[in-house]
Amino acid sequence: MPKTIDAHAHILGEETIRLLQKEAPQIGLKLTPIDKEFSVIEVAGTAFQPFPHSAWDMERRFRDLRAAEIDIQVLSNTPQTFLYDQDAGLAGATSALQNDQIAAVVRAHPERFLGFATLPMQAPQRAADELRRAMQQLGLRGAQIGSNINKRNLDDPSFEPFWAAANELGAFLMVHPTQVAGADRMKSYYLTNLIGNPLDTTIAAACLVFGGVVERYPNIKFYMVHGGGFAPYQAGRWRHGWEVRPEPRQHLKEPPDASIRRLYFDSILHGQPALEFLVQTFGADHVLLGSDYPFDMGTLECARQVKALRIADADRTRILGGNADQLLAR
């Protein structure tokens, strides 16, 4: 039976925490327990809560994976440790440290885990070098990057050296929301996550498409989390805008449809009709299982949600693990 692969999951191991506290005291990483399940995590002066203990509790992670019917998890750092707003040298060191630790977990449990790197994206050439090291020396399968880098959208010309390296490596890049747009208007009701996260993913997708990044770098596999934000559901509007306005044509030679259809999406939509629409519109071969473990806006029901979809058995198998197995093969 094919393996079920969760391609969107996070980790911040106990040893990683200890090493970050020791090797990078400047970021002031601190955990303050709330209860037996959650803590407040403080990184570089910003507090995040609730931060689940399952981010580092491996016994619980294995138990949760069994309960969720997930065979393999692809591990990426927690977005709180991107550190894009820090000195590039510091971020480079913390990225390398985290990548070494993720690779160590994968080596210890090769039958259960694969890994993505984190990168100092505020320094694109340094990020390119670390991506190359992570993939070629550590055996990581790609990287997780932010949806923007200190408010620079992903079509910013400064990122060209990074895209060139990622294209050369045929990298799989998971684009995860961070520093979301409009946060000043979304302070209530947890809107920074409910709306802000998918919104920033949408902006990232639009910039990758209309900025011509997807078109220019065909070997990069861009993976947009949380179902691609709002992008899959406004693709018709993007095409219409490209046809009637000059601005969307500035960097994009062909209609945006081709670039949008080269993106990959995770399954985290929390609703069957929306997920079925995504599969039917963009194809089962462009949707991957994701849990967003261990955060509250993720779900351990992800595999069962995919199994309940009204789609062909072969498509269900692709989403549950076949696509990830093929895309992440080395």
Residue 2 banded pLDDT, cuts 50, 70, 90: confident
CB-CB contact of 255 with 239 (8 Å): yes
Tens-digit pLDDT profile for residues 29-71:
999 999 999 999 999 999 998 999 999 999 999 999 999 999 9
| pTM value surpassing 0.95 | yes
| For residues 187-205, average pLDDT | 97
User: CA-CA distances (angstroms) from residue 46 to 51, 177, 232, 271?
Assistant: 13, 17, 32, 32
pLDDT at 253: 87
Q: 326 CB contacts (<8 Å, ≥6 apart)?
A: none
Q: pLDDT tens digit string along 3-13?
A: 999 999 999 99
CA distance readout (Å), 209 to 19, 25, 227, 259 = 38, 39, 16, 6
Rounded-to-integer distance, Cα 130 and Cα 121, Å: 10
Whether pLDDT at 152 is above 80: yes
pLDDT in tens, 107-144: 999 999 999 999 999 999 999 999 999 999 999 999 99
Residues 237-246: pLDDT tens digits?
Answer: 999 999 999 9
3-state secondary structure of 127: helix
d(CA 10, CA 98): 12
% of the chain at pLDDT higher than 70: 99
- Rounded distance, CA 318 to CA 308, Å? 14
Residue 216 CB neighbours (<10 A): 16
* Residue ranges of domains in the chain, CATH in brackets: 5-327 (3.20.20.140)
Instruction: Map tokens 């990044």 to a residue.
Output: 213
pLDDT of residue 1: 66
H/E element, 221 = strand 221-224
Give me 205's structure tokens: 């997708």
pLDDT at 219 over 90: yes
Q: How far apart are CA 91 and CA 81, in angstroms?
A: 9
Q: By CB neighbour count within 10 A (0-12 exposed, 13-18 middle, 19+ buried), where does 259 fall?
A: buried
pLDDT digits (tens, 9 = 90+) for 257-297: 999 999 999 999 999 999 999 999 999 999 999 999 999 99
Mean pLDDT of the chain: 96
Residue 202 pLDDT exceeds 70: yes
Both tokens of 17, joined, read: 């925490």
Is residue 248 reached through a cis peptide bond, with omega within 30 degrees of 0 on the bond before it? no
DSSP 180-241: -TTGGG--STTHIIIIIHHHHHHHHHHHHHHTTHHHH-TT-EEEESGGGTTGGGSHHHHHHH
What does 55-76 look like in DSSP terms, one character per residue?
Answer: GT-HHHHHHHHHHHT-SEEEEE
In terms of C-beta density within 10 A (0-12 exposed, 13-18 middle, 19 or more buried), how is residue 181 classed?
Answer: middle
Asked whether residue 89 carries a pLDDT value surpassing 70, the answer given is yes
| β-pairing verdict for 142-146 and 117-118 | parallel
- 4 phi and psi angles, rounded to 5 deg: -90, 125
Is residue 330 very low, low, confident or very high in pLDDT (cuts 50, 70, 90)? low
Residue predicted with more confidence, 74 or 1 = 74
Per-residue confidence (pLDDT) for residue 9, from 0 to 100: 98
Q: What is the DSSP pairing of strand 113-115 with strand 72-77?
A: parallel
